[in-house]
Amino acid sequence: MIIVLKPNHTEAQLEHICEKVEEMGFRYELSRGVQRTLLGVIGEEDELRNAPLKAIAGVESVMSVLKPYKLASREFHEEDSVFELGHGVKIGGGSMILIAGPCAIEGHDVLLEIAQAVKAGGANVLRGGAFKPRTSPYSFQGLGEEGLKILREVGDATEMPVVTEVMDPRQVELVDKYTDILQVGARNMQNFNLLMEVGKTDKPVLLKRGMSATIQDLLMSAEYIIAHGNKNVILCERGIRSFDSSTRNLFDLSMVPNVKGLSHLPIVVDPSHATGRPDLIPSMALAGVAAGADGIHIEVHNCPEKAMSDGPQALLPNQFAEVAKQIRDLAPFFNKELATNPQPVA
């Protein structure tokens, strides 16, 4: 349920409305728009319909929200969400991000070399996995906290915000200590205990779509995070399962404009995990820009044949730089700008 306040409402009336909502046993989220102030009331819709909300002074109208993802919906927050990621980098409202880096953090020198290369090529967010959820228990599982320390050091040295995956509610406090953006991977998109924990932090969350998740499934997972206090959620399309084995996953580009119509949250596309093929990544990255994405996520390694995770789908730094240039040139045609850090690494 959404309460629309009158344009001339007073702060005292707003405070009284909030108190009445809480007295009824409901929670709420406040959204102050350019022309309207809204209260998103969280509770059972049937109970809310019978509550005399419209009788409260200062209330203009009460709208029923049929979508179960109230706080993530455009009905609650009409304008695109825009927020800071660190080092002056923003996402949303026309500002694009370009996330790049290796799948796994393998060591300080290797990560620093890759980070310097991707920043020089145009990236403004550095990625690298410290904890790696692998299909096989015998595959490289990541460096853990040592990897987080390396990621933080390299991010600071290159002046880029860093993103890494958190896999377990018990890891949230540790990962939060070192990173600028918390990533919830596809396999954990519906790990609701994890979603609630990252929702209690103040760090932006990159939420990847599950391998078999519907659009509503993804938005409901985002709702978990927002409902627990963290409004800075970035959605990510990284491919879903398909019967076709010619690519790693099915890259669902229609998801981008689809979700844009339903939600105010920014969306990033990940053609690396979606296709699993370096030859397809450039064209799919550009297609993501054309579809309206607020960012592109690309895996890059300086020696893919030696990479400890996902080497076959990584671009070389020079290949990444060419794609980044094309993205930067294309973005203005779709009212987007690829924000870059003010001091590129030499």
Q: Are 128 and 158 a contacting pair, CB within 8 Å?
A: no
End-to-end CA distance of the chain: 53
Measure the CA–CA gap between 204 and 310, rounded to whole angstroms.
Answer: 25
Q: Are 5 and 39 a contacting pair, CB within 8 Å?
A: yes
Measure the CA–CA gap between 33 and 216, rounded to whole angstroms.
Answer: 25
Start-end of CATH 3.20.20.70 domains in the chain? 83-338
Measure the CA–CA gap between 160 and 151, rounded to whole angstroms.
Answer: 10
Start-end of CATH 3.30.70.1140 domains in the chain? 2-63
What mean pLDDT comes out for the span 130-135? Answer: 71
Q: What confidence tens digit (pLDDT) does each residue in 292-329 have?
A: 999 999 999 998 888 788 788 899 999 999 999 999 99
pTM: 0.84
Reduce the secondary structure of 184-203 to three states and give it as a string: ECHHHCCCHHHHHHHHCCCC
Instruction: Specify the pairing of strand 2-5 against strand 37-42.
Output: antiparallel
Q: Are 240 and 211 a contacting pair, CB within 8 Å?
A: yes
Q: Are 222 and 69 a contacting pair, CB within 8 Å?
A: yes
What mean pLDDT comes out for the span 228-245? Answer: 95
Q: List the single range of 63-67, 109-113, 223-227, 250-254 with lowest mean pLDDT.
A: 63-67
Is residue 170's pLDDT more than 90?
yes
Determine whether domain 83-338 maps to CATH 3.40.50.720: no
Average pLDDT, whole number, for the chain? Answer: 91
Q: Are 28 and 70 a contacting pair, CB within 8 Å?
A: no
The alpha carbon torsion through 161, 165, 168, 171 (nearest 10 deg) reads -40
Residue 306's pLDDT is: 85
Is residue 346's pLDDT more than 50?
no
Q: What confidence tens digit (pLDDT) does each residue in 103-126 have?
A: 999 999 999 999 999 999 999 999
Q: Are 64 and 49 a contacting pair, CB within 8 Å?
A: yes
Q: Which two tokens stand for residue 339?
A: 């924000």
CATH number for region 2-63: 3.30.70.1140
More confident residue, 306 or 182: 182
Q: Are 285 and 298 a contacting pair, CB within 8 Å?
A: yes
Measure the CA–CA gap between 132 and 45, rounded to whole angstroms.
Answer: 40
Using the structure block, give the residue that is written with the tokens 């009212």.
335
Three-state DSSP class for residue 126: strand
Q: How many Cα atoms occupy the beta-carbon half-sphere of 282 within 13 Å?
A: 13
Instruction: Give 268-280 as a DSSP string.
Output: EE-HHHHH--TTT
What mean pLDDT comes out for the span 202-215? Answer: 97
